[in-house]
Copies of this chain bind each other. A is one copy, B any other.
Amino acid sequence: MMGELGLRERKRMATRVAIQRAVLMLAQERGYEGVTVEEISHEAGISPRTFFNYFPTKEAAVVGDVPRLPSPEAMDAFVHADGTQSVLDGIRDLLAGTADNEAKAEERDIHLLRRSLLKENPQLFSLRMASMRQLEADLVALVERRLVADDPRRAADPETVHSRARLLTYVAFAGIRHAWSCWAEHGGSGSLSLRLHESFAQLQTIGRDDW
């Protein structure tokens, strides 16, 4: 069966979760800087050396895995949209999908812990945003495909398409930051995805100073 993972894999996943739980809870108590890898490892029941077999840096354990682009099907759906949705809204849905991608129940509490910690520590949220450079680059390429699919004549000017795709991507990330900031500022009340919709709706009006 596919789901039948060996003992090894199960142990590794458990350790990975234990480490993240340890670092998140300790950081919640004492702040990110105030926690040492030695303490984290002790709390997680491993040696300090082993910590670095699971995460390349202390920071990586705190900010968690960088979201990846979603499934190829979702990507194709974005590229070949039916024209009823703006490019920015398409990006929003694409990224909202990766954000809520918390299928594994074991890891759900990790996500909640992390979200709560990032909410209290804007610096950590910045770290997480900074760790998304690869995702940004992937997204730029995807948006290029969408722009050309929307109007194939654009393929004649790849420079302009690239530039426009990059601008749209950067602006989309600005929208995400905005949604997160508003959400965190209000103590995390209300739905994050609702905030996301509100922020992206505002984005559409950016060119106008009358709102």
A residues contacting B by CB (< 8 A) are 86-88, 122-123, 126, 130, 133, 150, 163-164, 166-168, 170-171, 173-175, 177-178, 181-182, 199, 202-207, 209, 211
Contact = CB atoms under 8 A, between A and B. Distances in A.
Contacts of A202: 163-164, 167
Contacts of A171: 171, 174, 203, 206
11 contacts: A126-B130, A126-B133, A164-B211, A166-B181, A166-B182, A167-B202, A170-B175, A170-B178, A203-B206, A204-B207, A205-B207
Contacts of A166: 178, 181-182
A211 B151 CA distance: 11
A211 B209 CA distance: 20
B181 A177 contact: no
Which 7 residue pairs spanning A and B have beta carbons closest together? A170-B174, A204-B207, A174-B174, A171-B174, A167-B178, A206-B206, A170-B178
